[in-house]
Structure 1
Amino acid sequence: MSASEEAIRKYYEHVDSEAYEDLFALFSADVVYHRPGQESIDGMAEFEEFYREVRAIEQGTHSIADLTIDDDTVAVRGRFSGVLEGQQVEFGFADIHRFDDEGLITERWTYTDTGRV
């Protein structure tokens, strides 16, 4: 397993278990997080605020169906099952992660079949 694949698998483990300090350690300080129809999240302060205070998903589990690596980019397709704004949900997602030269995730894009994250 490559270092980038391992980092991405850890990302989903950490986000599902709400191990935020471990999750943040996978990202560069200048991380940019893109979500359709919403402003990008720029930098670690905004990224941490999003996960600690803003994220609508309350709990759940990500299941990876496909993971593809190409140079500095990892694309993931899967399913999420959990609680979103008090409602039990299940939906598909596609995430793209770009790594910097130090092996940290510097850019992230998220797409879901719900139209939101």
Structure 2
Amino acid sequence: MNHTTETWPAVTDYYRYVDAGDINALVDLFSKDAVYHRPGFPPIVGHDGLLRFYASGRVIAHGRHQLHQIVADGSRIAVNGTFDGVLKDHTCVSLAFADFFTLAGDGRFQERRTFFGVPAV
């Protein structure tokens, strides 16, 4: 499988599924032992960890991702974009993000790292 083009639909599907709240479909895009690194959380491991996170641990109630750039290099894919949504505490958020995916040999996500563009210093 050529990871530079055929896997972009998996990346765009991921954001479509997360925005639609289709947890089972988005978790299926990950390897069974995948690891998700997200600021403020310990590593989220495997399908069970991902299901728990997206069902109850995620502080976002709903929103929409807009992808601005996707760059692939072999089994690595980088995405930058913006997110506009509402947190579970009803706070509206608008922020930039960057995600870095590493693919397993079967084309599923083996690792994901997220960074948020928010004022910090």
TM exceeds 0.5? Answer: yes
Q: How many pairs were matched up?
A: 115
Q: Matched residues in 1 for 2:22 and 2:41: separation?
A: 25
Q: Matched residues in 2 for 1:44 and 1:104: separation?
A: 12
Q: Matched residues in 1 for 2:69 and 2:53: separation?
A: 26
Question: What are structure 1's unaligned runs of at least 5 residues?
Answer: none
Correspondence for 1:101: 105
How far does residue 22 in structure 1 lie from its aligned partner after superposition?
1.1
Trace 1:17-36 onto structure 2 (pairs within 5 A).
17-36=20-39
Correspondence for 1:42: 45
Matched, 1:12 2:15: yes
Q: Matched residues in 1 for 2:116 and 2:37: separation?
A: 12
For 2:14, the aligned partner's letter is Y
For 1:15, the aligned partner's letter is V
Aligned Cα root-mean-square deviation (Å)? 1.4
- Percent identity, aligned pairs only? 35
Give the secondary structure class of the aligned counterpart of 1:24.
Answer: helix
Provide, for residues 19-45 of structure 1, a one-character-per-residue CA deviation record: whole Å limited to 9, x for no partner.
Answer: 111111111000100123431111111
Give the secondary structure class of the aligned counterpart of 1:38.
Answer: coil
State TM-score, norm by structure 1.
Answer: 0.93
Moved more, 31-40 or 88-97: 31-40
Matched, 1:110 2:107: no
